[in-house]
Structure 1
Amino acid sequence: MPHTLNQRLAILLTLYLAQGLPTGIFSQALPAILRSYDVSLTVIGFSGLLAIPWALKFLWSPYVDKYHSTQMGRSRSWILPMQALSVSLLVVIALFNPYDLANTQGVYSFFVLMFLLNLFAATQDIASDALAVRSLSYEERSFGNGVQVAGYRLGLIVGGGLLLYLVDVWDWRLSFLLMAFLLVLLSLPILLYREPVVEVSPSEVNLSYQQVFRTFIATPAFKAWFWVLVTYKIGDGLGSVMVKPMLVDMGFKLQQIGLFVSVLGSVATLLGALLGGVLTRTLGRYQALLMFGLLQAVGLASYGVLSWQWHHTGQVNPMLVYGVNAFEHFASGLATVALLSAVMDQCRRDHAGSDFTLQVSILAIFGGSAGLLAGVVTDLIGYTYYYLLSAFICVLLLWPVVLWGRWLRR
């Protein structure tokens, strides 16, 4: 009996929540934790290199598409082992001594653990994305991506904001053991899920590793779409990495950042994602990408205004900070749903994992690389000019979206 849309969305919700939890530890909690132990902004900026598995996961995505257990299911064959490995790694992190972050060796050791956590989560993402593409029709994708982004952001709330709060007011070891336990609970739905059998055409099965990518990137649709993938996340990548270090320098405590910034920001992204699912279907992919990209630029510029106020008065209104952070995350949720809906539209059913992963890897490579020099640039020009520059770049790089829209109307 086919699964209903609600059942499919529920499974996707738990999968992306499970993915967001360990990712939140890296992307949301790690910068603030490192800064609280006086790690330099330059090192924090270069911690973005730990996300390399997300940028390069397309290299092993064809194998995730091709090799699987017919008994377990095409996607479950990879999702279950990856989540089990993530649970094990969280237990190891729980045993790590956080005071070792005060020295270089401790930072590097922790970075290795974060790299492995990203590797397991990125591989789980390949299989989860493939399951989503195969499970959702064109009309369902905007809603499906809304649920996916919402689930992912819920995971970020837990792995980022809640973890930061617990580490600050409770205990490091117990906090990370709780994360491991929650990930076990989130693995139960996919463990009990009976994945539908997907028939693959013989011609597609026999494609070589290189042909999987070549046949995809050679299509006229992908050529028109490519520059949007390259540029759309660069402004966001520049802006997001320096938010929490800036707030630490402004005097915010980790529990404030964890509860009022990470949690409220993720809730705002969640709401933006859910609304984005409706608006993307109403406006269409092109109009949604353009409008939501402009809103992201406004959010980044607002951080620059906050920094200017802090530098000139020595203080900043916490409620204003929380409001700006919520707006920027809300815009990000809107834009992400529109972007991922368009990414799904490009995918072939037989190579859903590879096609989707190649596209999001391009997004990660260029968006993530932009943030690598964030610490260096911020040290040179300060937070105010850095965020104004990020907003300007964000607007400038919407031009490829305009060109793609012209191609669609040709």
Structure 2
Amino acid sequence: MFPKLILLATLYISQFIPTTFFIQALPVFMRQQKMSLDVIGFLGLLILPSGLKFLWSPFIDRYRLGKLGHYRGWIICFQLLLISTMLVTAFIDIQDNLNALLTCMFLASLFSSSQDIATDALAVNLLEPEERGLGNAIQSGGNIFGAIIGGGVMLILLDKIGWRYSLITMSIFMLLNLVPILIYQEKSQPQLENSTFFRSYFQPFVSFLSRPKALPWLFIVLLYMMGDSVTGLMIRPLLVDRGLSLPDIGWVLGIVSYSARIVSALIAGLVIVKLGRTKSLIIFGIIAALSSLLYIIPAIGVSSLLVIYTVCIVVNATQSMAYTALLSAMMDKCEKNTAATDYTMQVSVMFLGGIAATVLSGMLASTMGYSFIFIMSAAVSLLSVFLITNKYRVSA
């Protein structure tokens, strides 16, 4: 199993670095330029491909790129496009070309989310059911380690060596991360039966949505990580308002907090095996929602670095455990021959909920304040847990 985990870890790390860098760096950069919170909230729209990627996931399920393998070929293609986008971005003057920067961020999100379709499908086919708890911990941990690099190390490098060389360094690291997938030999997957274009496109969606409790489950997915999305975006301009520098934010949110996310994801993976999916979703969901209320402490004016570090570590660690439980439950609801579509549909719903919540939170924060936003995000997360335990209870 160890080679599988190494392969998945490198894939999830490399695809998450660029988008995390943009998500981490841009809110800080924009707030330092005195931009309003409602404008910063609209940054969520730039990751719209992550919410709409289910629209092209059937093509990745059905078609392969020559002799590169099915999902392996798509992964290699999209990661090379992602690296190319980063190299182009390195030579943009971000002070005078914000539109070009936002365009590159959108393209990075497009290529990263498309790669994620193929990577998730590869993971579904690669992992046995009994391996999925630990496998999803590696997925969550890989994403988080990518976030440490993109959102922590890169912010510190940005302050030390500047924009261009930071982006070039990122591109080189991502290129090296291609090695495991290049040497991996993918097993051939059964092909979908021949059918018309429209039938082959819509059939995976119809098949998934016709399963018992599919729609209630998607509604839970929509709500479950909304709090994480809102707090993850709004804490950055809040820390700027509290006087933290770019390296300070890189350390507290990018390196220390995300390191806590990795550890807690691995712990969650082991706990999920013991408790099962449903109990883990409920327990971790409640803990994560309540812990996110700790962000009210810096929101009311506390600027002590020790307090901020403690709050951010606790919130990120608990949210990571909830995220790992959700990923495990989502993977259980996938069929192997339509893994890309089944998994991506669920991930897309999760992202669409996050995008809507972040855009709305930016507008509300500018009028109602940070504390109100953190309370509302916790309430929505608790609502999703209530649905799991009551009317829309799902088997997991």
Pairing partner for 1:8 from 4, 25, 31: 4
The superposition leaves residues 376-407 of structure 1 with CA deviations (integer Å, 9 ceiling, x where unpaired) of 11111111222122222322332221137745
Residues 335 and 404 from structure 1, CA distance in 2 versus in 1: closer, same or farther, beyond 3 angstroms?
Answer: farther
The superposition leaves residues 189-231 of structure 1 with CA deviations (integer Å, 9 ceiling, x where unpaired) of 1111111112236379995211121011101142442221122
Asked if 1:96 corresponds to 2:74, the answer is: no
Asked if 1:17 corresponds to 2:8, the answer is: no
Cα distance in structure 2, aligned partners of 1:30 and 1:201: 42
Pairing partner for 1:378 from 365, 372, 395: 365
CA contact (8 A) 1:145 1:341 kept: yes
3-state SS in 2 of match to 1:157: helix
CA contact (8 A) 1:157 1:263 kept: yes
271-280 or 386-395, larger mean C-alpha shift: 386-395
Cα distance in structure 2, aligned partners of 1:121 and 1:246: 27
The superposition leaves residues 230-273 of structure 1 with CA deviations (integer Å, 9 ceiling, x where unpaired) of 22122222222100100000000000000222211111111111
Pairing partner for 1:225 from 204, 217, 241: 217
List aligned pairs for 1:146-225, cutoff 5 A: 146-200=137-191, 202=193, 207-225=199-217
Residues 273 and 200 from structure 1, CA distance in 2 versus in 1: closer, same or farther, beyond 3 angstroms?
Answer: same
Paired AA for residue 27 in structure 1: I
Unaligned segments of structure 2, at least 5 residues: none
Asked if 1:326 corresponds to 2:318, the answer is: no
3-state SS in 2 of match to 1:242: helix
Cα distance in structure 2, aligned partners of 1:299 and 1:33: 27
Pairing partner for 1:351 from 333, 338, 353: 338
368-377 or 118-127, larger mean C-alpha shift: 368-377
Cα distance in structure 2, aligned partners of 1:215 and 1:224: 15
CA contact (8 A) 1:230 1:366 kept: yes
The superposition leaves residues 88-125 of structure 1 with CA deviations (integer Å, 9 ceiling, x where unpaired) of 1111111011222xxxxx32221111000000000000
Cα distance in structure 1, aligned partners of 2:222 and 2:13: 26
Paired AA for residue 13 in structure 1: A
The superposition leaves residues 287-344 of structure 1 with CA deviations (integer Å, 9 ceiling, x where unpaired) of 1111111121122210012222x1xxxx521111011111111111101111011000
CA contact (8 A) 2:57 2:340 kept: yes
Cα distance in structure 2, aligned partners of 1:43 and 1:385: 18
Cα distance in structure 1, aligned partners of 2:27 and 2:242: 15
Cα distance in structure 2, aligned partners of 1:201 and 1:83: 26
Asked if 1:140 corresponds to 2:131, the answer is: yes
Cα distance in structure 1, aligned partners of 2:147 and 2:195: 36
116-125 or 37-46, larger mean C-alpha shift: 37-46
List aligned pairs for 1:286-365, cutoff 5 A: 286-308=278-300, 310=301, 315-365=302-352
Q: Tell me which residue corresponds to 1:103.
A: none
CA contact (8 A) 1:48 1:371 kept: yes
Equivalences, count: 395
CA RMSD of aligned residues (A): 1.8
Pairing partner for 1:397 from 360, 384, 389: 384
Asked if 1:285 corresponds to 2:277, the answer is: yes
Q: Tell me which residue corresponds to 1:259.
A: 251
Cα distance in structure 2, aligned partners of 1:173 and 1:38: 24
CA contact (8 A) 1:271 1:333 kept: no
3-state SS in 1 of match to 2:186: coil
3-state SS in 2 of match to 1:202: coil
The superposition leaves residues 65-108 of structure 1 with CA deviations (integer Å, 9 ceiling, x where unpaired) of 111035211111111111111111111111011222xxxxx322
Q: Tell me which residue corresponds to 1:75.
A: 71
Cα distance in structure 1, aligned partners of 2:215 and 2:258: 33
Paired AA for residue 377 in structure 2: S
Paired AA for residue 22 in structure 1: P
Cα distance in structure 1, aligned partners of 2:212 and 2:347: 19
CA contact (8 A) 1:169 1:255 kept: no
CA contact (8 A) 1:16 1:152 kept: yes
Following TM superposition, by how much is the alpha carbon of 1:36 offset from its aligned partner in structure 2, in angstroms? 2.2
Paired AA for residue 373 in structure 1: L
3-state SS in 2 of match to 1:252: coil
Unaligned segments of structure 1, at least 5 residues: 101-105
Following TM superposition, by how much is the alpha carbon of 1:188 offset from its aligned partner in structure 2, in angstroms? 1.2
* Displaced runs of 4 or more, over 6 A: 203-206
Cα distance in structure 2, aligned partners of 1:390 and 1:358: 23
Q: Tell me which residue corresponds to 1:367.
A: 354
3-state SS in 2 of match to 1:199: coil
Question: Share of identical aligned residues, percent?
Answer: 36
Asked if 1:114 corresponds to 2:105, the answer is: yes
TM-score scaled by length of structure 1: 0.92
Q: Tell me which residue corresponds to 1:58.
A: 54
Residues 75 and 201 from structure 1, CA distance in 2 versus in 1: closer, same or farther, beyond 3 angstroms?
Answer: closer
Cα distance in structure 2, aligned partners of 1:239 and 1:222: 28
Pairing partner for 1:244 from 236, 253, 260: 236
CA contact (8 A) 2:38 2:364 kept: no
Cα distance in structure 2, aligned partners of 1:241 and 1:261: 11
CA contact (8 A) 1:65 1:351 kept: yes
Cα distance in structure 1, aligned partners of 2:107 and 2:2: 33
Cα distance in structure 1, aligned partners of 2:374 and 2:8: 34
